[in-house]
Amino acid sequence: MIIWSIAKTTVGDALRKKVLQIFLVVAIGLIIISLSFSQTLSFSSRAGSSTDIMLVKSFGLGLMAVAAWLISLVMGVSLIPQEIERRTIYTILAKPVKRYEFIVGKYLGAVLTLAINVAIMGVVFIAVCVFKAMGAEQPVTPEETGLPLVGMQQVGLFDWNMVWGVIMIFLQFTVLTSVVLLFSVFLTPTVNFFMGLGVYIVGVMAPLTETLSSKESQLHPVLKVFYRVIHIIVPNFDKFNVTNTLLHPETHIESMAKYTGIVTLYALFYSLLLMLLAVIIFRKKEV
């Protein structure tokens, strides 16, 4: 109950933050504008339908990721320091609130805020995708409708893979939020922002750190060990980066549901792990 109260307060605080509102509005605006980008394409060899749709999807997923990335970083870095700065933490901890409840409540609030933002963007994005697909045609005779004429047919309107895409974005940034939450226990917001950014970039480049630490790598053994440690410790954000797979499901996916399930567990365990470390540190911290 206490955790839920803290979470609700965190959500309320976060949603009132102008900077987060701006990220959300700008992202939604750009997602809608991407519709007109794609309409400028006219030299495509297939009347543009497949490239146009792909453009809308890739822009939308990319913009949502950027917005969610900024929201989780900006929101996450101030989660704990803000309470300390405003001295509200003293009031909270003076009440029968355990420190772990405070941390968990804060994290839960941050994740809920992220979920609300990603959900709003996701709904707009999927609506834009459906709008783009309306009237888009392809030169295929569909199995389902059985139209015998050679010619153009309406493409499928709803692509479930985009829903997976939105979920992946949310999962990815719940992990980043837990990273910045951990850092916010002992770092200032500015340092935390750059640390979080660094961890994210290294995490996205997981295939690179893996290659550098592999047996085939020509690097010095010490460096290999260094990259191996980096690869193991830093959350593998690349696991959530499946845009190409989602844009071309026919070429990649065997079971997106299975993969999403595993990655959800990964995000959950990793977030719990970092939250736990944050709790351990926060318990030792003199506040």
Partner 1 sequence: MPEGNSRPLWILVVVLIVAVAWTQYVADPIQYKMQEKARPKAGGGELMVQLPGQFIVASVAGFKEVIAGALWVRADTFFHAGQYEAIIPIVRLVTWLDPHNVDVYSTGAWHLDYNFVDTNQMSDKRYIPAAVALLKEGIQHNPDIWDLYFELGWTHYNKKILDYEKAVEYIEKACTKDGVDPNTGQRVPRPEYVDRMLAHMYEKVGRFEDAIRQWHRARKRVEETIARERKKKKGGYVDTTSLDVCDRNLGLLYLRMAWRYGDMDAYKKGLEIYKRLASRKDAPAQLVEATRGAEADYTLRVATNNPPRDALKPLDAGFEVTWKKVAPKVFIIKGKVNLVPASEYKDLASECFTHWYRDNQNAPPEQRKLWRDGCRIRWILRDYDYKMPELKTFSYKIDKSQTIAWDSVYVSGGTFSDRIDLSQDPDFYPFKADKYKLTIMFVPQQAECPDYVQDRIGWKGEALRDKRYLDTKTQPGFHLLRKEMVLTKDDVL
Scanning residues 85 to 114, which ones bind partner 1 (CB under 8 A)? 98-100
Q: What count of other Cβ atoms lies within 10 Å of the Cβ of residue 81?
A: 18
Site for partner 1 in 158-177 (CB under 8 A): 158-161
Residue range at the interface with partner 1 (CB under 8 A); choices 19-27, 119-127, 153-161, 181-189: 153-161
Q: Report the candidate in 193, 43, 101 with the shortest Cα–Cα distance to residue 93.
A: 101
Number of residues that bind partner 1 (CB under 8 A): 89
As a whole number of angstroms, the distance between CA 193 and CA 202 comes to: 14
Task: Please say which residue, 40 or 188, places its beta carbon nearer to partner 1.
Answer: 40
Length of the chain: 287
Buried b or exposed e, range 89-109, using 16+ CB within 10 angstroms: beebeeeebebbbbbbbbbbb
Site for partner 1 in 202-261 (CB under 8 A): 204-205, 207-208, 236-239, 241-245, 247-254, 258-259
Buried b or exposed e, range 167-180, using 16+ CB within 10 angstroms: bbbbbbbbbbbbbb
Site for partner 1 in 50-89 (CB under 8 A): 50-51, 53-55, 58-59, 61-63, 65-66
Q: C-beta of 18: minimal distance to partner 1 in Å? A: 26
Residue 155 is classified by DSSP as P
With CB under 8 A as the contact rule, the residue among 12, 25, 40, 194 that binds partner 1 is: 40
Contacts of 244 (CB under 8 A, 6+ apart): 252
Site for partner 1 in 267-286 (CB under 8 A): 269-270, 272-273, 276-277, 279-280, 283-286
The gap from C-alpha 184 to its chain's centroid, in whole angstroms, comes to: 19
With CB under 8 A as the contact rule, the residue among 42, 95, 216, 220 that binds partner 1 is: 42
With CB under 8 A as the contact rule, the residue among 143, 215, 220, 222 that binds partner 1 is: 143
